[in-house]
Copies of this chain bind each other. A is one copy, B any other.
Amino acid sequence: MYDLVIKNGTVVTAVSTTQTDVAIRGEKIAAIGEGLVGKREIDATGKLVVPGGVDIHVHLEMPIGNFTSADNFFTGTQAAAMGGTTAVIDFVEAKPDQRLLDALAARQALADQRVVVDYGLHMTLGPTDMGKLSQVAEVAAAGCASFKLYMAYGLRLHDGHLLRSLEAIAQAGALPVVHAENWDVISALVAGNLQNGRFQPRWHPRSRPAPLEGEAAGRVIDIASYVGSPLHIFHVSCGDTVARIAAARAQGLPVTGETCPQYLLLTDELYDRPGVLGALPVCAPPLRGAADQARLWQALGRDELQLVSTDHCPFTSEEKATGLADFSKIPGGVPSIESRMATMYAFGVRRGHFSLNRWVDICATTPARLLGFSHKGHIGVGYDADVVIFDEKRPFSLSTTTLHEHVDWTPYEGLTGEGWPVVTLSRGEVIVEDGVFVGSAGRGRFVQRRR
């Protein structure tokens, strides 16, 4: 007899759709089959049984500039769990004089107390870490098998640093994940706009042109190709970047790309709204127009992009408003961690952009495999029992009153659709049941990821 059996659901994986039972013993999926018997049984008749979502790009209680992102490891992972996501990857940045492993340990210690679901960390390599590249291998060996490289902001690495970093990461068998924008061009455009009295949020997208996002992605691909490194491009916002990734993949290069719900659901017209409303959706890369949006949906359907993450990074409207007199000072980021699984179902699957299996693939299976969550992202025997029962008919209306993200606004306010998780299991434990959170802070664990 198993500990828990999910009965009669429609089990959806990246390659199959089957009506059957899923049995759990301890923290693992122990069997899939007909007529399995458990101490506890949950009826999933008429519902989907899918792997818990894997969101490889979140920023929780992350200090950025003068502010700290509004969701902490508890509220953020709770919101994730409510939305059917059972694994996230956050970030760690070392101080200039700090060993990378020490920074990792410190960030783990902070997270471990609070996380509700399992998590991993990307180690950020900034300019002050260039003397620490010999530590990359031990960081990877510690289960931190991916490294974040910025081509923008203060953390920006110039191309020589990118080269050296990519070499070290490739040698360690780890994965570089990159924020690709052309920071020198952006800085020049921002300066030019401010000098000309263009202070409003609408100048934010006009300072970060899509063709130069594509250029930056193409550049780091060229460097990675020269070095012989794999590469993952974060938060693709436009067709220019899709084109570079697709061209690299057509040549057989190990390059992947992700986009995020905000780029798929919102457009840059939002920046024209008055007052703080225009400032709220500031993020980087910025939201783009309808043509780019359509191209992103298409790219997910054609495997030109491989996955959807959130880049969840909320700041309060008060914090956003501090940049109203200078758009370049608006803290960047939007919250999406809770609604990703549902919106990708409602607007991806239902609108015909991709299949149910592809939905599971881009939201769970591929992100888990690519980032080294070797036992997550799939409904299979021996995998962690991170399982979501998803009700395709359950309506949702996104709003700060319905969402659990710890921030006073959402860019999806009023967005409605059908399809929402009703039960979330993390390693065999029910942590959300019929929309009520029943898990606890600190039950999540740091996962040693390997590639």
Contact = CB atoms under 8 A, between A and B. Distances in A.
B215 A382 contact: no
A215 B211 contact: no
Contacts of A215: 218-219, 222-223
Contacts of A36: 31, 33
Interface stretch (A17-25, A99-107, A309-317, A435-443): A17-25
**Range class of the A interface residue count:** 35 or more
Contacts of A407: none
Contact of A252 (B20, B301, B380): B301
A380 B13 CA distance: 10
Contacts of A250: 246, 250, 302
Interface stretch (A118-126, A160-168, A423-431): A160-168
Nearest to A36: B31
A200 interface: no
Interface string A142-171: 000000000000000011111110000000
Interface in A244-270: 246, 249-250, 252
Contacts of A276: none
Contact of A184 (B18, B158, B302): B158
Interface stretch (A67-75, A78-86, A109-117, A185-193): A185-193
B30 A30 contact: no
A16 interface: yes
Contacts of A380: 13, 16, 18, 32
A24 to B, nearest CB: 10
B212 A33 contact: no
B226 A381 contact: no
B381 A33 contact: yes
23 contacts: A11-B381, A13-B15, A13-B380, A15-B15, A16-B383, A18-B383, A25-B34, A30-B34, A31-B33, A159-B182, A159-B184, A159-B188, A160-B188, A160-B189, A163-B184, A163-B189, A164-B188, A164-B192, A211-B225, A212-B226, A218-B218, A252-B298, A252-B302
Of all A-B residue pairs in the complex, the 5 with the closest CB atoms, nearest first, are A31-B33, A160-B188, A159-B184, A160-B184, A215-B222
Interface of A: 11, 13-16, 18-20, 23, 25, 30-36, 158-164, 182, 184-189, 192, 209, 211-212, 214-215, 218-219, 222-223, 225-226, 246, 249-250, 252, 298, 301-303, 365, 378, 380-383
